[in-house]
Chains A and B, each alone.
Chain A
């Protein structure tokens, strides 16, 4: 279990490093792929709602703590735990090709995660979020994530299987 925790922490750390260091260089009009969200998607699909929920919360909390003060701490932990749980819960309904299922779930996860974080920011009137900006960020991230899904989802799922533990039971 501790080895699995360490490996998943490493997966999260790599995703955070890619998000803060590499992704800004390939953004288009301020929108880029979200490696952290992609790992939440991958673990939710591979291990189910329980892992998606817990990993999503931890990943969101890390994003909250490493980000600036634009949005309150807790915003991304809420958004990503909802996305992780949602992906895990919907996987039983995803039939047919695994890739197509991952694309559908990935699009839903981006819309749910960024939509809920942005909606909370709109509600609290913080971060200068506008409905148009929120829509652009959610749709843009969902689209930009698509080409990375076939690479990241199987890779993270394989890592999770290799270091599977009690938390990897189907949820």
Chain B
């Protein structure tokens, strides 16, 4: 037993050195490169294994979820009723929206350009909140792009190889997003908290944050996250606080197919002053002041 102790000390020391180096260097250092190399080497095996084994896992997972499926069914039926009630008001809002757009002569925002991908590997350990997908730089993916599930935002791309990419889930404690509460227009920041619900921090301390309100992404300079992607609903928190909890729409445990937003929405055309037809619009530029003319009135 005594002969093992030096080996234990050496391996513990090596581990601590690795932790220190990686902690200081971040993703750009040698260990970050080794991680990317490991992904390139192991991802094809995971991809093949996922194709064969995942249906089996889903079957056993479904058995364990029977209880929660009943609860989900009741909740979804209630949501359907609520959506039916809101259909009329939504149609009215859409009509008004179309009229206003026509009046403004503003081009419709283009549809998001996405590419599909399959989740081939999920977190390798506790405290890890990322998944691996089978699309990479060859499919136009790059870090920062948004990843969508069937019901809303899943996360953003953090690492890309030619054929694979790692997605940081919105629940990751390292994730933060600019968001807007749809019902009130309140802006805020959303942060992941691991296995806990997401945490919303409203920028305005006096903001209204009604429970059940939908939270969507807010386009922000320097990011590739499109505007208006649904994230989840406000579920509660301290009424006197500008912090609230958000339940995400996406079930991270059941991720299979996702969409990556590879084309950013086309922004409204910038107005070029040289192309302004002010006379056509009935607006005339002010005439040059006549020589010797004084102030009127």
Q: Does B285 contact A (CB under 8 A)?
A: no
Stretch at the interface among A1-9, A94-102, A123-131, A154-162: A123-131
- Who on chain B is nearest to A78 by CB? B15
List B residues 10-54 near A (Cβ within 8 Å).
Answer: 11-12, 14-23, 26-27, 31-32, 34-35, 38-39, 42, 45-46, 49-50, 53-54
Complex-state Cα separation, A109 to B126, whole angstroms = 15
Mask for A130-169, Cβ within 8 A of B = 1, else 0?
A: 1001001100010000000000000000000000000000
Stretch at the interface among B109-117, B187-195, B239-247: B187-195
Complex-state Cα separation, A82 to B5, whole angstroms = 11
Contact present for B15 and A128 (CB under 8 Å): no
> Within 8 Å CB of A70, what residues of B?
127-130, 172-174
> Within 8 Å CB of B77, what residues of A?
none
Contact present for A30 and B195 (CB under 8 Å): yes
Q: Does B104 contact A (CB under 8 A)?
A: no
CB distance from B12 to the nearest CB of A (A): 6
Contact present for A128 and B174 (CB under 8 Å): yes
- Who on chain A is nearest to B51 by CB? A21
Stretch at the interface among B57-65, B211-219, B267-275: B57-65
Complex-state Cα separation, A63 to B124, whole angstroms = 6
Mask for A54-72, Cβ within 8 A of B = 1, else 0?
A: 1001001011111111111
List B residues 169-193 near A (Cβ within 8 Å).
Answer: 172-174, 192-193
- Who on chain A is nearest to B55 by CB? A25
Which single member of B18, B60, B166 contacts A73 (CB below 8 Å)? B18
Q: Does B56 contact A (CB under 8 A)?
A: yes
Instruction: Decide yes or no: A78 and B123 within 8 Å by CB, A22-B53, A25-B60 being known contacts.
Output: no
> Within 8 Å CB of B168, what residues of A?
68
Most chain A CB atoms below 10 A, which of B42, B124, B158, B192: B124
Contact present for A53 and B39 (CB under 8 Å): no
Q: Does B264 contact A (CB under 8 A)?
A: no
Q: Does A104 contact B (CB under 8 A)?
A: no
Q: Does B66 contact A (CB under 8 A)?
A: no
Contact present for A67 and B128 (CB under 8 Å): yes
CB distance from A112 to the nearest CB of B (A): 13
Q: How many inter-chain contacts with C-beta < 8 Å in the A-B complex?
A: 194
Contact present for B195 and A133 (CB under 8 Å): yes
Count of A residues near B, CB < 8 Å?
Answer: 61
Which single member of B16, B166, B172, B192 contacts A78 (CB below 8 Å)? B16
Complex-state Cα separation, A78 to B127, whole angstroms = 15
Contact present for B196 and A68 (CB under 8 Å): no
Which single member of B17, B32, B124 contacts A19 (CB below 8 Å)? B124
Contact present for B23 and A49 (CB under 8 Å): no
Complex-state Cα separation, A66 to B126, whole angstroms = 13
Instruction: Decide yes or no: A17 and B16 within 8 Å by CB, A67-B124, A69-B35, A136-B195 being known contacts.
Output: no
Complex-state Cα separation, A160 to B164, whole angstroms = 34
Contact present for B166 and A17 (CB under 8 Å): no
> Within 8 Å CB of A65, what residues of B?
34-35, 38
Q: Does A11 contact B (CB under 8 A)?
A: no
Across the A-B interface, the 3 shortest Cβ-Cβ residue pairs: A128-B173, A74-B18, A25-B57
Q: Point out residues on A near B: beta carbons under 8 Å.
A: 13, 16-17, 19-31, 34, 49-50, 53-54, 57, 60, 62-78, 81-82, 85, 88-89, 114, 117-118, 120-121, 124, 126-130, 133, 136-137, 141, 171
Give 7 A-B pairs besides A60-B15, A64-B35, A68-B128 with Cβ atoms closer than 8 angstroms.
A17-B45, A30-B253, A66-B38, A67-B128, A68-B166, A69-B174, A78-B12
